[in-house]
Structures are given as structure tokens and as C-alpha cells.
Amino acid sequence: MKKSRLLVAASTFLLCLSVDTNAAPVFYANDEAGFQTALGSNTLSLESFESGFTNGTLVSFPGFTVSTPDGEIILSIANGAGATDGTDTMGIVDNGFDGNQLVFNFDNPINAFAIDIHGALNVGGPGTLTLSNENGASGFILTEPNTTGVNDVFDFGGLIDSAQSFSTVTLTASQTGDGIQFDRLQFGAISAVPVPAAAWLFGSGLLWLAGISRRKTAKY
């Protein structure tokens, strides 16, 4: 009986490893290290907004578009204070981000999205910055209970959903009168994050022990 239980336990352990452990959407608020770790060996496309673009409410980039449903103007900002890769940024400034939305629509489905954020929620008073997609996944990537008005704050927001792809990402800011710059957008489709080899080795060892026990029992 003991051997059967060991065999069942080992089989169950390996079965669990074969299931994607990141099935639920995972949000990364100011945790780029965690985001990069979750990516594993996957590589993403990168947009640093360096080429310049015509300001408007709908702007096209290679692989995606960005729009503001409420009519704020998306600006190409040369030598932007929020630049983290190169010198230019994409922004909604001059108190234009009044609790509204910035929508990213991707040409092909993706599983991973991340972006650098500068100067969000800095006009005083409480506020939140939320990241969501069309599948209903939604999470806070920035919460400020009592902002003091400091402009040079850098933040990072990301989302990985290895179980369900998405094509639309929406950033929603609740603070009235905010101006935000964005840089270093990372996006793409990824494969499931591989299970560490040590875990497979442990499970295989359990199966081996179960097999040895069964052989010994059969011998005697």
C-alpha cells in the first residue's frame, strides 16, 4: 500500500509540473526583475519611441497602435525627462491625462506586455494607474494615496498571461490633471515558462524509488 501511495504521489507531482503554473494573469508593479525572470528565455519586441511621430489621438507604430478614446493628444517628446531607452518618449502631458485611458492595440495576439512610466500620479491627492486587457484581467500597477507632486518618479508596469493571449491593453489613470510619459514598451507572444530541471529530477526520483520498492516486493 505504501508503495502504491508513493507511486501515485510521484505521478501526481509530475502531472502538476506539466500544467502551466502561470495560468492566471500576473501583474508586475515596479517589479521588472520579476517580469524578466518570468519571461525565462522568451524575447519580446521593443519600442522606444525614438523615431518621432505625428501627434494625435491615434498613433501607429510597428506592430501596434496607441489611441486615446477620450480625445487627449498623444505627443512625441524629444529629450523627454522620462526616457529610459534613448532620448525620446511618448507622452500625454499638459494636464491631459484626466482620469482617462491610453489604449494599445496589437496587430497580433501577445502574452506579455511591459512599459516604463514617468511622472504618473504626481499632481497631488490619491490616485491609481490600472492595467487591463480585453479578457477581463485587471490590476493596479501604481497606487498613490497622497502624492506630493514630485515629477521625476520612474515606475514600471507589466502583465504576463501565458494561458490566454490578448490583443488590447488599456492603461487607466484615476487622477485628474495628470501628465505621463512612457518609454521602452516590451510586448510579444511567449511560450510557457519552463519548469526548473531540479523539479523534474525530484519527481523522476520519486518514480524511481516507487519502482524499486515495487520490484523488491515482487521479489519476496
Distances (CA, A) of 130 to 156, 200, 213: 12, 37, 54
User: How do beta strands 112-118 and 125-133 pair?
Assistant: unpaired
Alpha helices in 131-188 (DSSP H): none
Four-CA torsion 66, 68, 74, 80, nearest 10 degrees? -80
Report which of 117, 153, 160 is spatially closest to residue 135, judged by C-alpha positions.
160
Task: Give per-residue pLDDT as tens, 101-154.
Answer: 899 999 999 999 999 998 777 766 677 889 999 999 999 887 765 455 555 578
For residue 212, the tally of other CB atoms under 10 A from its CB is: 12
Query: Three-class SS of residue 220?
Result: coil
| 72 neighbors 95 (Cβ within 8 angstroms) | no
Write out the CATH class of domain 22-188.
mainly beta
18 has a pLDDT exceeding 50: no
Its pTM stands at 0.76
Can you give the residue ranges of every domain in the chain? 1-20+196-220, 22-188
In this structure, what DSSP letter does residue 86 have? S
- Per-residue pLDDT at 5: 53
Q: In whole angstroms, what separates CA 185 from the centre of its chain?
A: 11
Task: Give per-residue pLDDT as tens, 35-60.
Answer: 999 999 999 999 999 988 999 999 99
Query: Mean pLDDT, to the nearest integer, of 155-170?
Result: 94
